[in-house]
Amino acid sequence: MNTGWLYGTLLLFLLGTGGWKLFARFHVPAPDMLGALFVASILAILGHELPFPSTPITLVSKLILGCYLGLMVDRSTLQQLKKVVLPAGIVSSWMLALSLISGYILYKVSHLSIETAFLGSTAGGIAEMAILGLAFHADTVTITILQLFRVLLFLIAMPLVARWKVGRISSGPTEASHKRALVATPPPQDSKALSFKNPNLKNRSFPSILLLLLSTLVGGFIGIHLGIPAGDMLGAMFGVGTANTLFGDLPPVPPLLRNYARIAIGIAMAQQLTPETLKMLSTLILPISLLGLLMVASGILLSRILQRITGWDTGTCLLASSPAGITQMSIIAEEVGADPLVVSVLHTARLLSILTVLPFLFKIILLP
């Protein structure tokens, strides 16, 4: 029996773990996936190809990540969304339109394929867009770099703008106390729990674990059977989200399991790295810069619209309009005196709407 693939896979996961810890030390977004991608890419560039059964491992990884996303949806999510349905709808629709417009612009001003340009410009999660890239046979390395640039840009730019705006306002009338947010601000631990959406760590009974596994597998394989792009991940997300809403209190995905699912995706993406990819990336500096300016301007304009409609404070509107990570934006909201719960709910709506709608739009646009 040939065990070379087993040793190769274990070695890649071991190296990916090292990359994860290194990137986490420097506070890089999605350090598990990007650290593994970085280490595996170096091996690929140096010509050291290790056997890696990409198809079965990525399938399991996408089911795990879909399960994790599904746990973000429960009754409390729906209740909060009812309270902010108009701004959530505005943010979701705006981000969907921005994704399509920026993707088309990037496609026209660069040499990227239309699949890579659209997915690289989408205001979704880094890992989720990489998974969609695998489904559309796009250049996942370039998609990840474009997504990383977007996240880093908003993590750096918008907190500075929010602090500046909040600082200016705090010297005058206290806008934060006037028309605060439509959703009351909870204690800090509640806002962090919202981004994980299932803080009940004690609920690990056998029936609840079995329901979680069944809803993940049934949803994932229905998604595959229907031919939905990244149907395994999206189907698992819908299956778990439905079960969590109907029955509630499903056990959370162990954080370490999610980390290694993302490491596996990073390793799988590195398998697609070619010398042509590296050459192409060097030509993207100007298009990426233009794309960044467009997205920042779009976020500032959206925040002004939200503020006029809702009367929320400036910091909350700015951070809710910044397409970066849910957890990171919620933490920053707390730091600058904005409303972390509102920011979390609107970013949850943005991510779920993009993952729900865009695969079908891209299937129409990108696949003949």
Closest by CA position to 330, among listed 129, 196, 139, 206: 196
Q: What is the average pLDDT across 161-183?
A: 52
Class of residue 168 by CB neighbours under 10 A (exposed 0-12, middle 13-18, buried 19+): exposed
**Domain around 34:** 4-47+56-366
The domain total for the chain is: 1
Q: What residue has token string 């420097």?
A: 26
Question: Distance between CA atoms of 197 and 220, rounded to whole angstroms?
Answer: 20
pLDDT tens string 40-77: 988 887 877 788 888 899 999 989 988 988 898 888 87
Between the alpha carbon of residue 6 and those of residues 12, 17, 35, 51, the distances in Å are: 10, 16, 21, 8
Mean pLDDT of 157-167: 69
pLDDT above 60 (res 252) = yes
- Between 226 and 157, name the one with better pLDDT: 226
Q: 267-306, pLDDT tens digit by residue?
A: 988 877 766 666 766 777 888 888 888 888 999 999 999 9
User: What pLDDT score was predicted for residue 366?
Assistant: 65
Please say if the pLDDT value at position 172 is more than 60.
Answer: no
Q: Give the angle 211-216-220 at the CA atoms, nearest 5°.
A: 150
| Residue 161: predicted pLDDT | 73
Give the pLDDT confidence score for residue 195 in this predicted structure.
40
φ/ψ bin of 337: left (φ > 0), alpha (ψ from -120 to 50), beta (otherwise): left
* Residue 182: pLDDT over 70: no
- Comparing 29 with 184, the larger pLDDT belongs to 29
Task: Quote the percentage of the chain above a pLDDT of 90.
Answer: 24
**Residue range 323-344: mean pLDDT, rounded:** 75
